[in-house]
Structure 1
């Protein structure tokens, strides 16, 4: 899509938002950094969270990826049949998957979910975990792989035959027999705060994601990304990843925030910060800089609390307050161009109800059903010679 005003570097304010929840496939509980008040996370519990999000009217759920999580594709496949409208934001992993295998997985899950798949493109920012997965490329070269992966992956999902030879990836006469339900493919979400990551986003994806920094910092980042997209003659939309702590009053919400980290000791925080410091993710560096590993100055912006990031990698900030307060802070992010909010809270089942019942009704929403091309996706008869559809 071509931007009609490429010289404008300010993101357009969002009139309505998409609100997603989170499936805690790496654990859940009432407190961070301890087994006290912890909860067994199994398929039955994840089904409860997904069905609650579906019934409460969330747009979708994010499934995290990495060695600390259950496999997102398998969990999503198990939960699609027990939900009705909920979309599933699932990761493809350039460097870990071939683009052709990822495209086939994508088209299958999109078809069996009736167009309820969203794709999260994850390059990976932990060199230790990457090496454990067999990925030894430095930071910027991993984004080169991501760009090549997406060149192949997007064309395959659009129904094209692809021959491609890059510095890292090569395919010849590759094509899909089955096409995804959504045209030309499920929406592509992506987060990357480095220059290399922003370049990939500007050229290839649909929605750029940031973690929950204060609004002024988010606005600055969005302006940088939008300028890069303008130069590539493309338009991106923007999303943010945040935790929420919602109670009936601001005072009760702040008390709940303190309770969430009441069992954290300095040794646990130091060990977590040491582990996260090894990562070469610019986004992770920016998250850590918000609190500096200290627990005495955690409100970094009005009602924006960095306590989660003391021990959790990735998204480390939470909006804290009454329903009206949290809704107002969300509207402030919408005013700078954020239209998609990927939210979570502890425990995830209860907090889904706190937010879904008390905050979601206060917000303008864009939760329209996916558009599906039935004529393009209908399949009848057996594929001939493993190669072509029957006439």
Structure 2
């Protein structure tokens, strides 16, 4: 297993503090999101590599408004500066409204066509030498990437729940990421993803990482965790919920659309007695679907219950966990101390990766 911490919106001080705490607290990497309300991920990643020693930085790039040529150059530059501690998370975007703030937003099919060409050209540039590329979305003549890397470093992750995302990840990526969901949904999804691998995958690890992004609400007891979850939901204003609903209604993301079925469920209180006792999914709560534009599921429960749920995900094939603690700025310390480090202590550590 690998654990990655999703860095929040905020100022430099908050982001730097969380990164340093994640490094000390057992996380192998942190994620910098590429979105309108976040700071520029490359600039932030440069700062973070200078203030940390070993944690990896997963830098998101939205192919709807980023170029593969400038992304490759930024990646190689920062990889050299940081001794190879940079990974790339390719995302396609989901909301016409949100994407329209940065570029002319294409439909679902055209965005994924651009994403496939983006990754194809990016990887060709990384091979070195002179690159010619003629596609529908990108066209370069006599391109050469500087700085060059003698030994390739870093990994490319592809995020997305659609068939198009699955196929692109199977062909090009070192890892495939989706939003958290019910256990059976995740298991079925990654089973479908792996069916693409024998046909499309060449010159890559035959067993790419399979990862989920999921929120954590953990406390000493089950009751305390659920109380914290519902207090967080109740504290949100009607305006926040309305804006999230507007985003979801204007999104053609397959991953986000799956949360629609859970929206009404998340409005109903779920006490300890209401949970399906012994059910593997009894700790999974879709309450964030009312408040968050992407990550709609939380693992809610005692520290032991949360650790057990992560282990269940691991047993069905999830080996890369992007965790968040959206309900407060203190969640990282709780999650690190009571969830991540205890899980790591039960496994053999090889380098920075938990096997």
Change (3 A) 1:358 1:367: farther
Change (3 A) 1:347 1:293: closer
Aligned to 2:337: 357
Change (3 A) 1:322 1:101: same
Which of 17, 20, 23 is the equivalent residue of 1:54? 23
Deviates more, 1:258-267 or 1:315-324: 258-267
Which of 133, 155, 159 is the equivalent residue of 1:191? 159
Tell me, yes or no, if the aligned pair for 1:180 and 1:186 is still in contact at 8 Å. Answer: no
Shift of 1:271: 3.8
Aligned to 1:23: 7
Aligned to 1:375: none
Aligned to 1:272: 244
Structure ranking higher on relative contact order (CA contacts 8 Å, 6+ apart): 1
Which of 306, 311, 314 is the equivalent residue of 2:291? 311
Aligned to 2:43: 74
Aligned to 1:345: 325
Which of 216, 221, 228 is the equivalent residue of 2:184? 216
Aligned to 2:312: 332
Shift of 1:158: 2.8
Mark the runs of 5 or more structure 1 residues left unpaired by the alignment: 1-16, 26-40, 371-391
Change (3 A) 1:365 1:239: farther
Aligned residues: 338
Rounded Cα–Cα distance in structure 2 between residues aligned with 1:199 and 1:148: 13
- 2:140 is paired with a residue whose SS is strand
Rounded Cα–Cα distance in structure 2 between residues aligned with 1:277 and 1:90: 27
TM-score (norm 1): 0.81
Tell me, yes or no, if the aligned pair for 1:52 and 1:349 is still in contact at 8 Å. Answer: no
- 1:119 is paired with a residue whose SS is strand
- 1:125 is paired with a residue whose SS is coil
Rounded Cα–Cα distance in structure 2 between residues aligned with 1:344 and 1:315: 9
Q: 1:139-288 residue pairs with structure 2 within 5 A?
A: 139-180=108-149, 183-233=151-201, 235=206, 236-266=208-238, 268-288=240-260
Rounded Cα–Cα distance in structure 2 between residues aligned with 1:347 and 1:292: 20
Matched, 1:137 2:75: no
Mark the runs of 5 or more structure 2 residues left unpaired by the alignment: none
Change (3 A) 1:342 1:365: farther
Question: Which digits, 9 at most, give the CA deviation of each residue in 1:180-222, with x for residues without a partner?
Answer: 47x4342111111112221211111111111110110001110
Shift of 1:347: 5.4
Rounded Cα–Cα distance in structure 2 between residues aligned with 1:349 and 1:52: 12
Aligned to 2:86: 117
TM-score (norm 2): 0.89
Rounded Cα–Cα distance in structure 2 between residues aligned with 1:297 and 1:228: 40
- 2:267 is paired with a residue whose SS is coil
Which of 4, 8, 13 is the equivalent residue of 1:44? 13
Rounded Cα–Cα distance in structure 2 between residues aligned with 1:350 and 1:105: 32
Tell me, yes or no, if the aligned pair for 2:247 and 2:293 is still in contact at 8 Å. Answer: no
Shift of 1:89: 0.8
Change (3 A) 1:346 1:283: closer
Rounded Cα–Cα distance in structure 2 between residues aligned with 1:114 and 1:244: 31
Aligned to 2:351: 368
Question: Which digits, 9 at most, give the CA deviation of each residue in 1:268-313, with x for residues without a partner?
Answer: 4244212221011111101232224751166793101111221111
Rounded Cα–Cα distance in structure 2 between residues aligned with 1:167 and 1:265: 44
Rounded Cα–Cα distance in structure 2 between residues aligned with 1:312 and 1:144: 27
Deviates more, 1:255-264 or 1:210-219: 255-264
Rounded Cα–Cα distance in structure 2 between residues aligned with 1:133 and 1:265: 27
Rounded Cα–Cα distance in structure 1 between residues aligned with 2:351 and 2:129: 28
Cα RMSD of the aligned pairs, angstroms, is 2.1
Tell me, yes or no, if the aligned pair for 2:89 and 2:156 is still in contact at 8 Å. Answer: yes
Change (3 A) 1:283 1:349: same
- 1:280 is paired with a residue whose SS is coil
